[in-house]
Structure 1
């Protein structure tokens, strides 16, 4: 899918600061939304990614590109983008620090009340920011982040309309249906100056239960975080050492304390091009589409658990109900414990099962 034509109307006026933002009818300004694009040797995709951010229908956007010492043509692409978008912020790292460290540096430079961490090879549809914000605005219970569907794109072609594992039967028990009053939602949208018919109409939403320990969200670029939720974990001492799986670190940790909400509508594109760190190919039902060794969810949860324990008093003081703190610790502990089973016992059981299957079919074929 090529979104270039829809980006031709982009104007740098999409960047607005506190002094120039348009007040809503309530007298309050719309919140700033920060997109933090992490780039390493994705110069061939970077322009479309940044163009799609500045093409958002939501009027208060800032974009920060963090370049991890790319060795391709990224520097020239970034220089051209700076000419096209004078408000673009760029961080040029002295070396390739990995995804998490780049996200941390981008977060500290950002100002938005909502933050989106972006892989430079992905891109967005124009209502991404607006839809996520309106969902946060109208949810009956506040959550730490929302996650929207993404189409899977190979080359220039859309091959699948979803990426969220929660679409499959095994993980539906981790979710529950979320209802919003569309009349009330429309009134709230009008109150803050966002009134686009259909944005929230029949929008399918599912809440993720706090106790979920299996991945049900979109990859990095599909997640839309509350800044104060990220702030709970951004200062984790070990986080900079996690070179990938930054989304797993934040999603499992934040969800354990606040829950999250899935938006079952594609609002962006997840590009599969052969050089992805995680996906090897577009998903197939029941087939693993990524290298097992790249699944760092348990390690990420272990880091988050250590961070919470090291800052136990701070987290306990922030929890409204006393039971939330031990429950969240337990959830992260169960996720962290999967590391041993996946890399030890599970591998042994898999090998044993394969041996049994092979033996069965050898006997079966001999009897034919």
Structure 2
């Protein structure tokens, strides 16, 4: 029998961290341990794959980790497979759910009990390479600036395990913000050799929070800072979250808060098969593949990201600043080829704003809030929100005219600047 969650303690690993070639424990007045990594393995009816996922976590070269296997009410032989693979390994814990709550809600059940400084969500049909955790943790320790999460390239495999290619998916390879700090100036893991550190240095690119677009690999390829996941976890009920993925929710929001870094080195395997949620085909240059059922849930994903930002507006704007708060809303909504104006044509998106309009007014002021909202949506959508919130739009008419005029003036200024820039290029 597996131990209950509250019967387990976290065993820290004896540190082999070094600084400038000297073991850190020889320099520090007390033992310094490796940060704990939490692997949250989500499974639903993948008995044929979940064993490989568990073995890949157990075989990590990184010594200080815990693993939480969340089974989403599987009806196949998953439980027997999971219990056989875990055996008596004290680093593994299990959560057995009575029903399938979906990938994101299942991930949150694991996050509720995770104790690691870093978290990776593992899809049970994928697996990690042995140096996944060591390389990701080393990246976090050696980047010039801290980031919310790191994302690495993948090896694409089919249902039988045959290699199909080295997939970069949405991973960005630009090098303008590339590289780690000098290996002698950062904490080094003994599990990462000098050659591996140099390879990581050449492969990594940091992306500031203001950089737009999907920059990362999907699913199992990401390692997040746990404290940030707690800040941006979804607020919706499980039935609303059903169909949403952990990476789809957390990657965009974590990035707008703390930036990210991509590693153009495959550190995990992404399995392509008939039941893939996100993509069913190998990655091809110039082809965006969202051939799995995930595409149906993109509107709900955008709305839930907006809900997280809006419902915690006072706290988040205090930490990010008002300008970044509003630009972050635009950033998470202007995605997947859809603009924020299109998003707010949906009544569900309008409802999130109307329900939280008093909070936004109290945080940013009434007229500043209305001006920012008008920049994100059409005039008719804003009027619908005001009516739904029992703020008749007629009462705002005089000031709204001023907002419309200021927006028109801003557009004209942008056009004049663009025209002047084009003239300068022709000279």
TM-score using structure 1 length: 0.79
Query: Which residue does the alignment assign to 1:312?
Result: 313
Q: Cα–Cα, structure 1 residues 37 and 260, in superposed 2: closer, same or farther, change >3 Å?
A: same
Mapped pair 1:201 → 2:205? no
Query: Which residue does the alignment assign to 2:371?
Result: none
Query: Which residue does the alignment assign to 1:299?
Result: 300
Distance in 2 (CA, whole Å) between partners of 1:195 and 1:293 is 38
Mapped pair 1:97 → 2:101? yes
Distance in 1 (CA, whole Å) between partners of 2:104 and 2:240 is 8
Moved more, 211-220 or 138-147: 211-220
Query: Which residue does the alignment assign to 2:229?
Result: 230
Contact 1:150 1:162 in 2 (8 A): yes
The correspondence for 2:162, drawn from 154, 157, 168, is 157
Mapped pair 1:34 → 2:38? yes
Q: Cα–Cα, structure 1 residues 239 and 230, in superposed 2: closer, same or farther, change >3 Å?
A: farther
Query: Offset of 1:301 from its aligned partner?
Result: 2.8
Contact 1:38 1:68 in 2 (8 A): yes
Contact 1:252 1:301 in 2 (8 A): no
Query: Offset of 1:264 from its aligned partner?
Result: 0.6
Contact 1:38 1:65 in 2 (8 A): yes
Mapped pair 1:55 → 2:59? yes
Structure whose CA Rg is larger: 2
Query: Offset of 1:162 from its aligned partner?
Result: 1.8
Unaligned stretches of 5+ residues in structure 2:
1-7, 18-24, 346-427
Query: Offset of 1:288 from its aligned partner?
Result: 4.7
Query: Which residue does the alignment assign to 2:13?
Result: 21
CA deviation map 1:292-345 (0-9, x unaligned): 7632445323211122111111112333x5543333233224339548759x9x
Q: Secondary structure at the match of 2:86?
A: helix
Contact 1:118 1:220 in 2 (8 A): yes
Moved more, 324-333 or 265-274: 324-333
Q: Secondary structure at the match of 1:166?
A: coil
Unaligned stretches of 5+ residues in structure 1:
1-15, 345-368
Query: Which residue does the alignment assign to 1:271?
Result: 271
Query: Offset of 1:240 from its aligned partner?
Result: 6.1
Contact 2:143 2:181 in 1 (8 A): no
The 5 A counterparts of 1:253-292 are: 253-291=253-291
Query: Offset of 1:33 from its aligned partner?
Result: 0.2
The 5 A counterparts of 1:106-255 are: 106-154=110-158, 155-167=160-172, 176-184=176-184, 187-189=186-188, 194=191, 196-203=193-200, 204-237=203-236, 241-242=240-241, 243-255=243-255
CA deviation map 1:106-160 (0-9, x unaligned): 0011110100011001011111001000111011111110000011011222111
TM-score using structure 2 length: 0.68
Q: Cα–Cα, structure 1 residues 291 and 232, in superposed 2: closer, same or farther, change >3 Å?
A: same
Distance in 1 (CA, whole Å) between partners of 2:270 and 2:81 is 21
Distance in 1 (CA, whole Å) between partners of 2:298 and 2:195 is 36
Distance in 1 (CA, whole Å) between partners of 2:330 and 2:100 is 34
Distance in 1 (CA, whole Å) between partners of 2:12 and 2:223 is 24
What is the root-mean-square deviation of aligned Cα atoms in Å?
2.6
Which structure ranks higher in relative contact order (CA pairs < 8 Å, sequence separation ≥ 6)? 1
The correspondence for 2:50, drawn from 34, 46, 51, is 46
Distance in 2 (CA, whole Å) between partners of 1:206 and 1:218 is 13
Q: Secondary structure at the match of 1:117?
A: strand
The correspondence for 2:87, drawn from 83, 88, 93, is 83
Q: Secondary structure at the match of 2:187?
A: helix
Q: Runs of at least 4 residues of structure 1 off by over 4 A? A: 16-20, 339-342
Query: Offset of 1:213 from its aligned partner?
Result: 3.9
Contact 1:116 1:223 in 2 (8 A): yes
CA deviation map 1:155-186 (0-9, x unaligned): 22211112332358xxx5xx84322234336x
Distance in 2 (CA, whole Å) between partners of 1:292 and 1:90 is 28
